[in-house]
Amino acid sequence: MSLEEILIERIGNNGPMSIADFMEQALSHPEHGYYMRRDPFGVNGDFITAPEISQMFGELLGLWAGVSWMMAGSPSSINFVELGPGRGTLMADMLHAAPLVEGFAEAIVVHMVETSPVLRAIQEQTLKNTALKEPPLWHKALADVTEGSSIIIANEFFDALPIEQYFKAGDYWCPRVVDVKPDGDGLCFVLLPPFDVPELPPGLIDVESDVMVEVCPSALDITEDISRRVTEYGGAALFIDYGHSQSAAGETLQALKNHKYQDPLVDPGESDLTSHVDFGALAQRVFASGARAIGPITQGDFLYALGISERADALTKKANPKQAEDIRSALRRLTDVEEMGELYKVMAVIQQGTPVPPGFEQ
Ligand code: SAH
């Protein structure tokens, strides 16, 4: 039975399902979920992420993590947590740069938070030759990571978490849900009649009528947990994702397969589903949880401030002409306004009263 057939049967029995439920099934169904069975990254996959474009990305983030560890008072042991680590490339590149900050590499305990067994196996391979004082630990959720001082990195993680959509009709909110098409042949979106006022980020409560809004409850919950950990134990977190700085109305749920957009309801489990991250809502939750949000700023500004041009120059000096062109092209993809430089945003979470971390200074 395909996932579409399973969902059609389920909706037949229980009625329409929420979009968050649908996304959860499409991405994480144990047998058919998109992430559970495949390695989606790269030229032959469905999409490519910053760490897969160039080692420069992870190396600069590794330095960021090391300096953040120093700013947290150089604790002798610190959780180095990555949420949704994909192939493990980012963690490997960050660890490669870690020894540049004296004492940091020796303090690290690596925690990988990953739901997909396939990607976890790839991450284990990627990290198997990395010198660490303790072997990396894997967890299914952040809640399972030991409490304590932590540096937490999330690149293109929040965009994969399930969202809900609501349509504002006059003074009322209609939940948008997934139903079976009237002819039974596939899935469609429908609006439910308004009932309760949904729990929305403050920036979305007063939007005008006739618009769709999105909210990602699990991203807000995880942000709250991160903020609490940083406030109680020290450390810092870094979120990098595509999205908007302020909460705004609009529909951004999208499906990507073989680097092309497609209908999110067609062939569930076969395409990557994402939505734009509402950094305004996340920042609001950070402050509400007692921590401080810095940014978001654009990925281009952040990487330039961390010295990506200088790093590219240094790598180019040792490169042959083909490698030099690859480095220039990677630099463009990561920082150009038309590429990942502007749509992708970077936000840090730090303790109240601690200095602004690298990359965000004015
Ligand atoms: N950070 C990586 C991968 C981004 S893709 C990179 O930049 O290349 C999203 C990642 O999050 C995948 O590893 C996916 O399996 C994982 N993931 C998705 N939902 C998750 C969840 N609820 N908990 C933990 N990991 C999740």
pLDDT > 70 fraction of the chain, expressed in percent and rounded: 100
Question: Whose alpha carbon is nearest atom 3 of ligand 1?
Answer: 86
**What would the pLDDT profile of 159-175 be if each residue is shown by its tens digit?**
999 999 999 999 999 99
Centroid of chain to Cα 167: 25
Best substitution site from 55, 114, 118, 138 to test ligand 1's pocket, by max atoms within 8 Å of Cβ? 114
Question: Whose alpha carbon is nearest atom 21 of ligand 1?
Answer: 115
Ligand 1 midpoint to CA 87 (Å): 9
28 CA closest ligand 1 atom index: 19
Q: What pTM does this model have?
A: 0.97
Ligand 1 midpoint to CA 157 (Å): 5
Ligand 1 midpoint to CA 111 (Å): 14
**What would the pLDDT profile of 56-80 be if each residue is shown by its tens digit?**
999 999 999 999 999 999 999 999 9
Ligand 1 midpoint to CA 37 (Å): 13
**What would the pLDDT profile of 29-49 be if each residue is shown by its tens digit?**
999 999 998 889 877 888 899
Q: What is the 3-state secondary structure (H, E, C) of the chain?
A: CCHHHHHHHHHHHHCCEEHHHHHHHHHHCCCCCHHHHCCCECCCCCECCHHHHCHHHHHHHHHHHHHHHHHCCCCCCEEEEEECCCCCHHHHHHHHHHHHCCCHHHHEEEEEECCCHHHHHHHHHHHCCCCCCCCCEEECCHHHCCCCCEEEEEECCHHHCCCEEEEEECCEEEEEEEEECCCCCCEEEEECCCCCCCCCCHHHCCCCCCEEEEECHHHHHHHHHHHHHHHHHCEEEEEEEEEECCCCCCCCCEEEECCEEECCCCCCCCCEEECCEEHHHHHHHHHHCCCEEEEEEEHHHHHHHCCHHHHHHHHHHCCCHHHHHHHHHHHHHHHCHHHHHCCEEEEEEECCCCCCCCCCCC
**What would the pLDDT profile of 240-287 be if each residue is shown by its tens digit?**
999 999 999 999 999 999 889 999 999 999 999 999 999 999 999 999
Alpha carbon distance 177, 51 (integer Å): 34
Ligand 1 midpoint to CA 291 (Å): 24
Give mean pLDDT, residues 21-27.
97
Is residue 362 pLDDT above 80, yes or no?
A: no
Ligand 1 pocket, CB under 6 A: 35, 49, 51-52, 84-86, 90, 113-116, 119, 155-157, 160-161
Q: How confident is the model at residue 131 (pLDDT cuts 50, 70, 90)?
A: confident
Is residue 13 pLDDT above 80, yes or no?
A: yes
pLDDT > 90 fraction of the chain, expressed in percent and rounded: 93
Give mean pLDDT, residues 115-133.
94
**What rounded mean pLDDT belongs to the chain?**
96
